[in-house]
Chain A
């Protein structure tokens, strides 16, 4: 057998092995994927019920907010599926497994990312994708709008991946991940699913300048709805998500140098 050389092919193999192992428990996988679909589906049902009663929020109609929910939800589901390893990083640190990763001649980022790829996140992704498709059908959609929507999903995914990486970097110093970190991940999903203009200043500041979810979701959406069609700035705003991810990977490298084993 030819040894796998590039980091990418190792990654693909690790991911495939992970997926194969999850498909061994098919009934369990289906149940969990359906559970995910149901959780976020009912969350959206609650939002729809609010629109049914109140009509609009800050001038935004249900399809416009559904567009935001779809972008943020699917971006988050992709990030959670791909970067779950970073989310569970405190367990890797506690068991001393990170020492083993350091010994291998591949980047730690790739290894942690491939540590666990959760296929059941497809339930959440499908739910968000349905909402996004439903919104796009009712909004005035051109091919350019679809391109912007794709860029927004990818930018949002990058932002959440960056958050997971930062959360994991924190465990180099703290070992346990404090519950409060969920505020920016889960909290980010909830906050960014609505137009940012409804929030008090400190929240707007957090999700614009510290975590660039505004530029991957709210701002491009507002540009499209104001202009009535896709615009060039709307297409490029989500790039800030990518920049955020690259910054957090740099911080990860710095944290890694700080690492000392738990010794188990």
Chain B
């Protein structure tokens, strides 16, 4: 088999999932209205805090406002929810058909997860950023380099998020309901990614710990590149860290799939 024909089924799968995700355009539009509302509320809160102690801030007000809009636009990067289709496959036992297919289970689930994060992110982020730049004081990147680094970081963030999301799907093979990891992982991810509060605002020690964990690369790293808080060298280091974490999580996922397929008990007929 040539390398191209080996990869083709996965690419076809990716394209099909992407097409499916683009069907939800009305949902994306309503979602954008919700994100705009949240953004305005959060900007009011952060503005009031910054006014109380501007000298203690590590980010200027325009930078903070821009950071908040970036968070609102990239919210669908977050690995929050279990893929409902996969949960049904596992509950109904039809997941065995997935194993029978002559393709790699991990790779096909990873492609699904990537499409499930990438398409809604693109569909929501672009109109939201346009509205925020035109109407709500979001800044453009200062240089073309910052903008380009931001785009690279978002792509890496999506690859990392897909690895996390696939791990959650795989955990279903062990726990069926996925209630535990499905609830606890997102709670930690919300805090550690910069979604709730820009990591630069946290106390130093905590910030250093969170910047080693993989979650910060989902939102905080792309956002800091956009607002120009990271130099070229730091950017390369951050990218390397993202790639290493993504590879580690993917390896863990593959290992777990292997374990699961050996000990799998199928419920129902």
Contact = CB atoms under 8 A, between A and B. Distances in A.
Interface stretch (A67-75, A92-100, A107-115, A186-194): A186-194
Interface in B172-228: 177, 179-180, 182-184, 186-188, 190-191, 196-197, 201-203, 206
Contacts of B197: 46, 49-50
Contacts of B27: 179
Contact of B38 (A46, A57, A178, A187): A187
Contacts of B255: none
B201 A50 contact: yes
Given A28-B179, A49-B203, A50-B201, A39 B186 contact: yes
Given A42-B187, A180-B34, A194 B180 contact: no
Nearest to A191: B41
Contacts of A200: 40, 44
B57 interface: yes
A183 B34 contact: yes
A28 B181 CA distance: 11
Contact of B53 (A32, A36, A55): A55
A43 B191 CA distance: 7
Contacts of A102: none
Contacts of A191: 41
- Identify which of B38, B177, B187 gathers the most chain A CB atoms within 10 Å of its CB: B187
Interface in B37-54: 37-38, 40-42, 44-50, 52-53
Contact of B203 (A38, A43, A52): A52
B31 interface: yes
Given A54-B49, A199-B44, A200-B40, A32 B179 contact: yes
Interface size class of A (residues with CB under 8 A): 20 to 34
Interface in A134-183: 178-180, 182-183
A39 B201 contact: no
A254 interface: no
A32 B181 CA distance: 10
Contacts of B184: 31, 34-35, 38
A57 B48 contact: yes
B33 interface: yes
Interface string A181-221: 01100010011001000111001000000000000000000
A104 B217 CA distance: 54
B48 A203 contact: no
Given A46-B196, A180-B30, A187 B48 contact: no
A243 to B, nearest CB: 25
A260 interface: no
B180 A31 contact: yes
Interface in B142-188: 177, 179-180, 182-184, 186-188
A2 interface: no
B172 to A, nearest CB: 13
Contact of A179 (B30, B48, B56): B30
A93 to B, nearest CB: 19
Nearest to A45: B191
A12 B16 CA distance: 49
B38 A55 contact: no
A203 B34 contact: no
Contact of B201 (A28, A49, A58): A49
Contacts of A56: 52-53
A184 B174 CA distance: 38
A42 B188 contact: yes
Nearest to B186: A39
Contacts of B42: 190
Contacts of A226: none
A187 B41 contact: yes
A39 B185 CA distance: 10
Contact of B183 (A39, A54, A190): A39
A53 interface: yes
Nearest to A179: B30
B45 A198 contact: yes
7 contacts: A28-B177, A35-B187, A39-B183, A43-B190, A46-B197, A55-B53, A190-B41
Given A199-B44, A203-B44, 13 more contacts: A31-B183, A34-B183, A35-B180, A46-B191, A50-B46, A50-B49, A53-B56, A55-B56, A57-B45, A57-B52, A198-B47, A200-B44, A203-B41
Shortest beta-carbon contacts, A-B, top 6: A35-B183, A198-B48, A46-B196, A54-B53, A38-B187, A46-B197
